[in-house]
Amino acid sequence: MVTNEIVHLAVASPDNIETSLVKEAALMLKKDPYETRMLLTGKLPKLIAHYQSVEEAATIARQLKTLGLVAFTVNDSELGKSPATRFSARALELVEQEIVFRDNNNRTLKLETKDVFLILKGKYQISSDKPVTTTRMKFNLGATLITGGIPVWRKVTETSKTNEGETGYFVRIYNRDSAESLVEFFENSFNYSSLGAGIAPSSTTNLNSIVGKLKAAFPLAIFDDRLTQPIGITEVYDKKANAVELNCKLIYLYYQAVSSPS
């Protein structure tokens, strides 16, 4: 069956990129070996080809799997849709075999051990242009001439823009059923009071402590923090997609593919 949308093929980079593997993959992808090697290089799963039907994309994915690669397909509509409204946690508490998250409106979300498939930690950066108004004194030549040479100055107000940025870490938690996270929270807006006497002066240290508690509470969950590292973007997604959203989704789909190869 032919779909009316593009179907993307994604591949995770292998540990060893051998020349023979590159040549075979290049034949399957109908790309030259140099380009194929570049597509297979990197720390993150990435989009490497785009097709007009599910069948065509799935066929190439199966072929790549015979080379030992982790390959999977994803519809363009899945990558292009806006992120769902997530539960934005501001605090948490541990209650026996579950963790209770709480948001700013005191709403709660309870997660049991069986609910969690992936804990993903990443780094975010938000930049914005902030207007800045400055006032300075400017020499007024015309007025000075009129006064017979007595210097005249006038006040001038100027408006410019300065770029301000906020950086920090975020954590997202997923179940097995959806590439949309169940809950997320951010380093700079989280209440760490649940750490008790273990609270540190550094929010980054506190976040790491919280992550440690999550890993202990959900021992079967996968933990991935590749998005905390500097990673070059070698694949440009042709929609105005947020790189963080795209990478989070591809990492989730990668682990789905690994845990359910069929």
- 181 and 231 assigned to the same domain: yes
Q: What is the pLDDT at residue 126? A: 64
The token duo for 186 is: 């951010």
- 117 and 40 assigned to the same domain: no
Q: What is the pLDDT at residue 236? A: 41
* Residue 215: other Cβ atoms inside 10 A: 13
Cα→Cα distances 227→27, 34, 212, 223, Å: 31, 26, 17, 11
Instruction: State the Rg of the chain over Cα.
Output: 26
CA distance 181 to 83: 9
Q: What is the pLDDT at residue 240? A: 39
- 51 and 152 assigned to the same domain: no
- 189 and 213 assigned to the same domain: yes
The partner residues of 157 in beta bridges, in order of sequence, read 135
- 104 and 39 assigned to the same domain: no
- 120 and 68 assigned to the same domain: no
Domain span at 74: 7-80
The CATH number of whichever domain residue 12 belongs to comes to: 3.30.1390
- 170 and 195 assigned to the same domain: yes
- 230 and 172 assigned to the same domain: yes
Number of structural domains found in the chain: 3
Q: Which residues contact 21 (CB under 8 A, 6 or more apart)?
A: 14, 40, 67, 68, 69
Is 255 a domain residue? no
Q: Which is nearest to 43 in space by CA: 230, 169, 180, 181?
A: 230
CA distance 165 to 18: 41
Is 261 a domain residue? no
The CATH number of whichever domain residue 192 belongs to comes to: 2.30.29
Q: List the chain pLDDT tens, one digit each, 262 residues.
A: 444 789 999 999 998 899 999 999 999 999 999 999 999 998 899 999 999 999 999 999 999 999 999 999 999 988 877 777 789 999 999 887 789 999 999 999 999 888 899 999 998 876 556 677 777 777 677 776 777 777 777 787 877 766 556 788 999 999 999 999 999 999 999 999 999 999 999 999 999 999 999 999 999 999 999 999 876 544 444 443 478 888 999 999 999 999 875 5
Q: Which is nearest to 189 in space by CA: 125, 104, 105, 108?
A: 104
In this structure, are residues 111 and 173 in contact, taking their beta carbons and an 8 Å threshold?
Answer: yes
